[in-house]
Amino acid sequence: MSQHDEMEIEAEPAPIGKHAPDELLTVGEMSRRTGVAPSALRFYEDLGLIASHRTGGNQRRYPRHMLRRVSLISVAKRLGIPLSDVQTAFENVPLDTTPSHEDWQAASRRWKRQLELRRLGIERLERELTGCIGCGCLSMKACRLLNPDDELGEQGSGPQRLPE
């Protein structure tokens, strides 16, 4: 395996001077840059979370803006956010064209809201636990943590999500 220096990745004839904004990335380059395995990238593409162009030889070529999507997906993964939620967050970010300023702004705000809700859920549980530590009991009666039949504890069975 050849370890290239961090040079400009130019799959196509390089425009003189600066990197092309239209530069396309192979699956391997995408993987190295995002830390997401090629197999996972293909998987995300099957799910429609990301998209690629194909060369004449049927190889994937990703537009640069796809880096953002992949990075956001991997961030979500680290926070335990399911891919279905990621899909929702991406709802109005175009796959086929470079998303506009506004597209990403809107997506950022959606992401932030999601994160905020998750954080609030955690903060609340922290408060409950602090109370439990304070009273030294984890009391079944007093502790909302252990009686979560409120907005946090939607249903009895099945996968559960934080409220949205």
Partner DNA sequence: GTAAAACCTCAAGTACCCTTGAAGTCAAAA
Partner DNA sequence: TTTTGACTTCAAGGGTACTTGAGGTTTTAC
> What are the residues binding a copy of itself (CB under 8 A)?
31-32, 35-37, 40, 64, 67-68, 71-72, 74-75, 77-81, 101, 104-105, 107-109, 111-112, 115-116, 118-119, 121-123, 125-126, 129-130, 132-133, 136-138, 140, 145-149, 152-153, 155-158, 160-162
- The helix (run of H) or strand (run of E) holding residue 47 is helix 38-47
DSSP 8-state assignment for residue 25: E
* Burial annotation 36-46 (CB, 10 A radius, 16+ → b, else e): beeebbeebbe
Q: Token pair for residue 1?
A: 């395996």
Considering CB distances under 5 to 8 angstroms, the limit depending on partner class, which of a copy of itself, DNA, none binds residue 138?
a copy of itself
- The helix (run of H) or strand (run of E) holding residue 108 is helix 101-135
Smallest distance from DNA to CB 80, Å: 9
Smallest distance from DNA to CB 6, Å: 13
Name the CA dihedral angle for 18, 23, 29, 32, rounded to a multiple of 10 degrees: 60
Considering CB distances under 5 to 8 angstroms, the limit depending on partner class, which of DNA, a copy of itself, none binds residue 145?
a copy of itself
Smallest distance from DNA to CB 32, Å: 9
CB atoms within 10 A of CB 121: 15
Smallest distance from DNA to CB 104, Å: 21
